[in-house]
A and B are shown apart, each in its own frame.
Chain A
């Protein structure tokens, strides 16, 4: 297990290196990066001063080395909007984003596990059709629209839940449902197809012939084995979930990282964008690592490959 962990950690080095290149290119993709860092009304002298201060007057390779140093020390420079270091600004909003992600995943599990199980067990029934129709429509709906419609019904028409923000305990409900339903559609679909595959396996026939109850077979044989596939896909999907959270945070004015990055993109507050993209990527990489470790724990064949 330790050996496998070490191997997986080593595998993180190339993407981390790639990430430094992406961040470097991102800053320069819109032309001279200096204009992202100074006030739009700055004079020519001020611009030159900032250029020197940030080292943008040096050769590209030196600039890249400087940036590497910045990334590995976690120092992404100052935000011109807040006049403070960019990294703490992002970290400060991390808990809200994590909270949203975790609650959404919870909502997704609550919807997807029963839906996926039922439609796999009663394959080709009316129930299965119902789940399939709903999950297909769910896949087609943009999540910001789901969010707006939920606000319309629960906050405008029935007035039972807060429209936006993170001030009340109930504030999390609508954002979590919005993001959760879009995760659930994919999850239910994968759970259904992997369960159908497992049901046909020989060990299920054995379990049946042993005289185990239907519930027990489903719980300890079918569902358990199918969840391995769901875990893997979940790891691959995690980047997508965080991407969705950026938009959901904007719809509900949820004070997380995504909303801060978005505002910073609109204002071209570059150091914050860079720090934010970096943290998002790190979260995804380490989530995938964790998922892989869990997977290796569940299925020893992976460890010895």
Chain B
């Protein structure tokens, strides 16, 4: 941990990425305290107020939307869905992907052949198209929409984990320490848990960080298309979809949510790339 912090301190790019992640995480946890207003509180007399540097109105720093709701508060609450879906979706893909990757790489043979074909098949269908189709077919109703989105994005995103982990396990299982473990009669299960899994953990960490960015973009795409989490839950994607209709008159409605998404994913990508260099300079994803 000390080594980690020391290395992080010496990298301005790493610090930038890490700080962005911390800021977004912090905003998502303390949304109620930080937001100046309730994100769904509308006031039709206060519609379309531009950001403060144009309107001079410091009550609404980033302006208001078509229903007079405060943009800043909505953006802050929007961090929640991104964080929950990002982390939740990646946990689902990670568990499935790592499990399948370990099994395929370790046992090879028929199981690997079958599962690899499954991966080939899924790779030929665009990830977002599959997610759109499943969400559309399952249908999303009010309360469980969040769970549906997390599960769907998790189920469509595990392939990345499975492919990388499988390839790594294939080379790790040929190492001498795995051979020695066999020689002293350890069971396959113990070998996987004690000797193989710890060696793929750096890959899991790096992939997870980068994959959270992918899932956040996928979630906002689904919300943008009207297939995401339903109101009153605020999402950046649905804010963008609303803002798009008012582009000619109120540019800030579509601009800020997009900046928020870019800011968040940028932090994850920068930090993920830094982590990759820190944990293993040879890894190439």
Contact = CB atoms under 8 A, between A and B. Distances in A.
Contact of A265 (B227, B262, B269, B270): B227
A250 B136 CA distance: 16
B138 A29 contact: yes
Contacts of B132: 246, 261-262, 265
B224 A239 contact: no
A141 B130 CA distance: 21
A18 B159 CA distance: 15
B284 to A, nearest CB: 8
A102 interface: no
A151 B258 CA distance: 14
Given A29-B138, A240-B127, A22 B121 contact: yes
A84 interface: no
Interface stretch (B3-11, B40-48, B84-92, B247-255): B247-255
Contacts of B136: 265-266, 268, 273
Contacts of A137: 262, 266
Interface string A125-147: 00000000000110111101100
B261 A15 contact: no
B134 to A, nearest CB: 6
Interface residues of A, number: 48
Contacts of A280: 125-126, 129
A26 B125 CA distance: 13
A30 B139 contact: yes
B126 A284 contact: yes
A35 to B, nearest CB: 9
Most interface-central of B121, B251, B258 (chain A CB within 10 A): B121
A14 B120 contact: yes
A136 B251 CA distance: 25
Interface size class of B (residues with CB under 8 A): 35 or more
A295 to B, nearest CB: 17
Contacts of A148: 240, 243-244, 247, 254, 258
A152 B251 contact: yes
Contacts of B220: 142
Contacts of B263: 140
Contacts of A236: 123
Interface string B259-279: 001110110011001000000
A173 interface: no
Contact of B121 (A19, A26, A262): A19
B223 to A, nearest CB: 10
B124 A239 contact: yes
B209 to A, nearest CB: 13
Nearest to A141: B262
Given A148-B247, A148-B254, A142 B261 contact: yes
Given A148-B240, A151-B247, A284 B124 contact: yes
Given A15-B117, A148-B240, A285-B124, A140 B269 contact: yes
A239 B121 contact: no
B225 interface: yes
11 contacts: A18-B117, A22-B122, A137-B266, A140-B213, A140-B269, A141-B262, A148-B258, A240-B126, A250-B225, A265-B133, A268-B137
Interface of A: 14-15, 18-19, 22, 26-27, 29-30, 36, 136-137, 139-142, 144-145, 148-149, 151-152, 156, 193, 236, 239-240, 242-244, 246-247, 250-251, 258, 261-262, 265-266, 268, 270, 273, 277, 280-281, 284-285, 288
The 5 A-B residue pairs with the shortest CB-CB distance, nearest first, are A243-B126, A18-B121, A265-B136, A145-B258, A140-B266
